[in-house]
Amino acid sequence: MQTSRTFAPVSPFILAALFMATTFLSACEKQIPNQPAKVEIVQTGSGYELWRDGKPYEVRGAGMAFNDFERFVSHGGNSIRNWSTNVEDEQSTRALLDAAYANGVTVSLCLSLQAERWGFDYDDEAAVQAQFETMRKEVLKYRDHPALLTWIIGNELDLNAENHAVYDAVNEISKMIHELDPNHPTTSTLSGFDEEDIAIVRERAPDLDFFSFQVYGSLFALPELLAATGFDAPFMVTEWGAVGYWETDKTAWGAPLEKTSTEKADVFWRGYTEKLAAIDDNLIGSYAFVWGQKQERTPTWFGIFTEDGYVTEAVDVLHRAWTGDWPDNRTPQVHDIRLDGQGATDSVTLVAGQNYEIAFDARDPDGDTLRYRWEVKPESEATSVGGDREEVPHNIDGLLEDASAATTTLKAPPIGNYRLFGYAFDEQNHAAHANIPFRVNSDLRQDPSELIAGEVMAMSYSGYREGQHPDRGDGAVNPSDAEILEDLQILVDNGFTLLRMYDVDVNTQTTLRLIREHELPVKVLLGMWLRAEFSNHEGCAWLDEPIPQSELDANTLRNEVELETGIRLANEYDDIIVAVNVGNEALVDWNDHMVPVDTVIRYVRRVQAAISQPVTVADNYVWWAEDGAELVDAVDFIGIHTYAQWEEKTIDEAMSFTLENLARVREQYPDKPYAILEAGWATTAREFGERANVPDQARYYDELKAWATDNNVTVFFFEAFDEPWKGNPDDPMGAEKHWGIFYVDRRPKHESR
């Protein structure tokens, strides 16, 4: 992790003492001998060892950016690594080295090279040379300091980097160091153990004396990786510790799950005793991350101290690993944390404004009295990598009944993503902590009476097969009675007895007739298709020119016929048609068949006056949430379309994104019934690439069904059968053709839903 410029002080309540000690040491700088220790890597019969002043040197190390050496040494530490020599505004490197020497601690000193991800161009010869000269000055400053152990040339320069010339620059700096300083070996850190990156470093930076790897959850695979690749060079593990946010499980909406401080302590212990200790041939040292605190997705993720300087349980296990004994006073341990009776792995979802019980169960091994603190923060929106700077999310006040009680009440904040933090403190400046990410939605649950025909999972259906299509200007090619009957039987056999149809033309009329004639247990949401009544050529991407007025006038007349036919069918088949939809995506601003909203309202009221079934309008969730206030009073329920896949979401994000969409509508109209009239997942799509596949469709369907069942919401899954007539006829991979849960030849894509 790149951590320069990102650390908070170890502890505000000891900063004053540290400052005084550092100032004193700097004033006594002449007392520090200007005589380096000779450090070398010695090859043995079994591998390599790090030697200092002619004797093997065991690194008991941690990453540290500030002077906390007295406490560090008291726990058995003897070596630190840092991340930059040029942060004089935060910590004088000279003072850090002096304080380290005074406490018998060595320092692996990092020269902070510019990373490609920060915009540095390693093909810019002038910039590379200027950086080289800066590093040369840094080396000259510190090469003879007796606390210096090794040089680290850049931190995780491989991360998000494509230009391998960065390691040419590393090699030149390593050669320069060896010319100026024959006493200290050089390395550069990699953001993991990767054969390709190792090969690049071997080729382009052969002057380095040893490799350095930074591994977190992957530490537990490191011995096997070393053996499998036959890696035989000396190396350090220059960062290891808590499982990274990029490696951990996530909530349904993608928030990483952080381990409790007790679970992290176990990771530290097992990582050190089971993995690092097992690598006894080429490993020459390791540094735990991090002796201090920093914001990285959360304020507690990697630091082994809290923001206000309290010691966590990871320090206890490092103390035991380095000294063989537990510290005299142990840190409190987390047994459980609960929000509304749920844990972090439950993807906790709350309703805005409602109250929920929260409880933190922490226990102290020494029986010390514990005090508690709760905090609520917005979920971090950071996308930075490698430990680059992140803003610390602010605390949200006014949500907790008693922020100092082990069990209390949380009032859910407004819609959004948040994280609840619990802390328990003993009387010895120790702290346990845990957190739960949670999401706040509007109340999406409905009364069972709001279900359409009592059904949860319904299906969109048209029935057109290969070579068939609705009227596209030269007449329709409709499926036969036998084909439609076959479709209906397939759908009934798979549990789909509520169908949505989109118009009132021949195909729909035939379907209604066959349902009645064969007494099939099928109900229908009837659609009345509305054609464009004004030209949306400026908003629709595929309308190249205005729609002629003559065509718009003809469409208005056809819409009148559509309404009259739909009203007739709704009354004729009132035992089959359970609801009516007027217009499909005729209002959203990107469509090619736009109808003014006041006209749609007039059409809705006309249909309502003529039939007994409930009436709705189907449109995109964005339109309903932002523009639907006038129409919502006219319809009997809201008909929502939502497509996570079209909005570039992965299957891991799909369900949570769907609920976000519904919440946006529900927040605006909390008392209006609603149904999802379209939601689906294409299984083949040039537009979606690998996100389009059959297993993901099955998963989305199952997750949507489970949620809809719990919340009494009817969902019309889009759609029953693939429709090759849709979209560009020259693009067989177009998404529009591949939304079916059955292929066009009626083969199922996966098990019966």
pLDDT of 659-708, one tens digit each?
Answer: 989 989 998 999 999 999 999 999 999 999 999 999 999 999 999 999 99
d(CA 513, CA 484): 11
List, for residues 611-620, the tens digit of each pLDDT value: 999 999 999 9
Residue with tokens 């593990």: 237
List, for residues 183-196, the tens digit of each pLDDT value: 999 999 999 999 99
Q: Does the predicted TM-score (pTM) go above 0.85?
A: no
In the chain, the amino acid numbered 513 is R
Q: What is the DSSP letter of 667?
A: H
Cβ-count burial of 256 within 10 angstroms (0-12 exposed, 13-18 middle, 19+ buried)? buried
Q: Give the mean model confidence (pLDDT) for residues 443-460.
A: 95
Closest-CA residue to 528 (of 499, 559, 553, 497): 559
Residue with tokens 């007039």: 602
List, for residues 617-646, the tens digit of each pLDDT value: 999 999 999 999 999 999 999 999 999 999
Alpha helices in 271-399 (DSSP H): 313-323
Q: Which of 2-6, 64-68, 70-74, 161-165 has the lowest mean pLDDT?
A: 2-6
User: Rounded to 5 degrees, what angle do the CA atoms 67, 69, 70 make?
Assistant: 125
SS3 53: coil
Q: Which two three-digit tokens encode residue 309?
A: 């300087």
Closest-CA residue to 733 (of 694, 688, 691): 688
365-404 exposure pattern, b = at least 16 Cβ within 10 A, e = fewer? eeebebebbbbbbebbebeebbbbebeebeeeeebbeeee
Q: Is the dihedral of CA 313, 315, 318, 320 positive or negative?
A: negative
SS3 237: strand
% the chain with pLDDT above 90: 85
336-441 shares its CATH topology with 448-737: no
In the chain, the amino acid numbered 483 is E
User: Which residue has better confidence, 352 or 61?
Assistant: 61
d(CA 700, CA 706): 10
Identify the H or E element spanning 408: strand 407-411
In the chain, the amino acid numbered 619 is D
Residues, the chain, total? 753
d(CA 510, CA 485): 10
Domain boundaries of the chain, sorted by first residue: 7-324, 336-441, 448-737
Q: Could you tell me which CATH class the domain 7-324 is placed in?
A: alpha beta
SS3 576: coil
d(CA 565, CA 602): 17
Q: In what order do the strands lie in the sheet with 39-43?
A: 39-43, 48-52, 55-56
Strand 638-641, strand 674-679: pairing: parallel
Count CB-CB contacts under 10 A for residue 732: 12
Residues near 652 by beta carbon (within 8 Å), at least 6 away in sequence: 250, 252, 254
**Has domain 448-737 been given CATH number 3.20.20.80?**
yes
Residues near 82 by beta carbon (within 8 Å), at least 6 away in sequence: 63, 64, 65, 93, 96, 107, 108, 109, 110
d(CA 370, CA 384): 36
User: Rounded to 5 degrees, what angle do the CA atoms 238, 244, 246 make?
Assistant: 125
Assign domain 336-441 to its CATH architecture: Sandwich (2.60)
Task: Quote the mean pLDDT of the chain.
Answer: 93
Residue 474 confidence (pLDDT) above 90: no
